[in-house]
Amino acid sequence: MHTGRIGHPSLLPDGLVPVAPSPVTAKGRVFTHDGPKDFVTPTELSEAEIRQTIADFADAARNAIDAGFDGVEIHGANGYLVHQFLAPNTNRRTDSWGGDTEGRIRFAVEVTRAVVEEIGSERVGLRISPGNRYNDIAEDQPAEVYEALLAELAGLDLAYLHLMEGPDRELTARLRKTWPGTFILNPFTYPEVTGPEALALVEDGAADMVAFGALFLANPDLPARLAVGGPFNTPDAATFYGGDHRGYTDYPTLGA
């Protein structure tokens, strides 16, 4: 992954600043070593820098495989760099990396192709979150862009597509129909965490697999708990995103 504009110079070496498709400052704050700080205005990536960043994704994938990982998931969601190219409020470019639908999906497509060429399609997944407003993203009508993206990637035979769903279940169904391969769904259950009842989405064909987030944090042995129907620890949101061992190593396992 690459966070793009979601960062801060204090987190980067040698005076570097965050980069993005366009110099649009994100609303909000980022965690730093000195506490939360406002996001800064990112530097707009040049053509040469975009090409280098695509190569960096491929290099990172190769490093992961060489280190012993089975594969990689490209993070194209949650308002980070790939998502910033897809969204109209963060990509205001008028060159071939922005503008129309073809331009906005180009970075995501080329990153995915480069990673596939480097390590093989069977080792590559892609995560997207259409319409997700996290990190100050605005995609009021995401269907056209994401259907075009999936149509463009369909021939790459990726290991899977991982969709972090928003409140639009109709869009999920459309993208499910568009995607020819394995479809992993992290269903929209806000404000509740995704629970074991989400497994019914596999039974009714809405997805091939279901992804769990917060429930897995609170239940490191989640597969075993799902197999026997629980019980399930309740996630403690106060311990998310940093701190000490609490919420990290102290959730009890079955029989503990």
**Does the structure show a pLDDT above 90 at 172?**
yes
Inter-helix orientation angle 143-153/169-178, to 10°: 20
Question: What is the Cα–Cα distance from 176 to 188, expressed in whole angstroms?
Answer: 15
Active site residue 251: no
- Give the CB-side neighbour count of residue 194, counting CA atoms within 13 A: 20
Q: Which long-range CB contacts under 8 A does 192-200 form with residues at least 24 apart?
A: 193/235, 195/232, 196/226, 196/229, 196/230, 196/232, 199/226
* Prediction pTM value: 0.94
Written as six digits, the tokens of 113 are 């192709």
Q: Please list the alpha-helical segments (H only) found in the chain.
A: 47-66, 81-86, 101-119, 143-153, 169-178, 200-203, 214-218, 222-228
pLDDT number for residue 241: 77
Query: Considering 80, 146, 160, 251, which one is annotated as catalytic?
Result: 80
pLDDT in tens, 229-242: 999 999 999 998 77
Domains of the chain: 47-211 (3.20.20.70)
- Which of 103, 49, 108 is CA-nearest to residue 74? 108
Dihedral-angle region of residue 219 (phi above 0 means left; psi in -120 to 50 means alpha; beta otherwise):
beta
**Does the structure show a pLDDT above 70 at 67?**
yes
pLDDT in tens, 72-129: 999 999 999 999 999 999 999 999 999 999 999 999 999 999 999 999 999 999 999 9
Inter-helix orientation angle 101-119/47-66, to 10°: 30
pLDDT number for residue 256: 63
CA angle 23, 8, 241 (to 5 degrees): 125
Q: Which residue has the higher pLDDT, 31 or 98?
A: 98
pLDDT in tens, 42-57: 999 999 999 999 999 9
CB 166 within 8 A of CB 132: yes
CB 164 within 8 A of CB 129: yes
